[in-house]
Amino acid sequence: MNLPSFLWLWKIAAWSMGLALLAYLMLAFTGVWMFQGRTRQQIPLIAAYISGNRGVRSLHYMMGITMVSLVLLLLAIGIVGTVGHFGSLGHSPHLAAGLIVVVLVLLSAFSATQIPNKVWARPLHISINVLLFVAFTWVSLTGWSVVQKYLP
Ligand code: HEM
Ligand code: HEM
């Protein structure tokens, strides 16, 4: 395949990444919201808090599933595009960055499912997501730099 035929694929990658970052920001926002709801002692409207918080939690959950799906889509695009072009993987640090993001996102989702049962799950979930921010930045920068060689 010639180079320009791949450009659309990297455009999808860039858009998916934008949406994944948006999902991350919404997750951070709703996560902090839940944290405050849980830790704040003097809640004037307990009933309002409980019903409102349930909405926030399901929003957080849905955004989480969205982000996991987008990251898996990006992994598939990256592998298909790279194998289609070079016939093999591992042409830049972007591979390591991508794999780290995938592992962290899956660990984050797994730890989230354990929060209701295990005490260690919540701090683990939060720490993983802080690391995920760093990994997201790295994968974006390395992705941006490898995409340059496909530009006309
Ligand atoms: C991978 C996708 C994600 C899923 C499926 C997910 C799901 C969940 C679930 C089920 C909880 C427990 C809510 C509860 O019952 O108290 C939770 C808590 C939390 N999540 Fe996520 N989450 C994801 C990603 C993120 C991200 C990216 C962030 C931050 C950038 C984040 C921040 C938080 C925080 C701060 C809490 C703790 C809330 C509290 O202390 O009450 N989550 N998450
Ligand atoms: C969560 C986000 C991402 C993941 C998991 C991911 C994953 C991957 C993987 C595993 C590869 C194969 C790398 C190799 O074998 O050398 C790849 C390649 C590639 N990705 Fe990503 N990627 C992500 C984000 C991005 C972004 C934001 C861009 C920029 C638009 C991008 C552009 C590319 C390009 C151009 C390649 C071809 C590599 C090359 O020519 O050396 N990726 N990606």
Q: Which residues contact 71 (CB under 8 A, 6 or more apart)?
A: 20, 101, 102, 105
This prediction's pTM: 0.90
* Greatest pairwise CA separation for the chain in angstroms: 64
Measured distance between the N- and C-terminal CA atoms of the chain, rounded to whole angstroms:
15
Across residues 42-64, what is the average pLDDT? 71
Is the pLDDT at 22 greater than 60, yes or no? yes
Cβ(96) to ligand 2 under 6 A?
Answer: no
Note the pLDDT of residue 136: 97
Cβ(144) to ligand 2 under 6 A?
Answer: yes
Domain ranges of the chain: 4-150
Instruction: State the DSSP string of 94-129.
Output: HHHHHHHHHHHHHHHHHHHHHTTT-TTHHHHHHHHH
Across residues 65-82, what is the average pLDDT? 96
Comparing 120 with 50, the larger pLDDT belongs to: 120
Q: What percent of the chain has pLDDT over 70?
A: 88
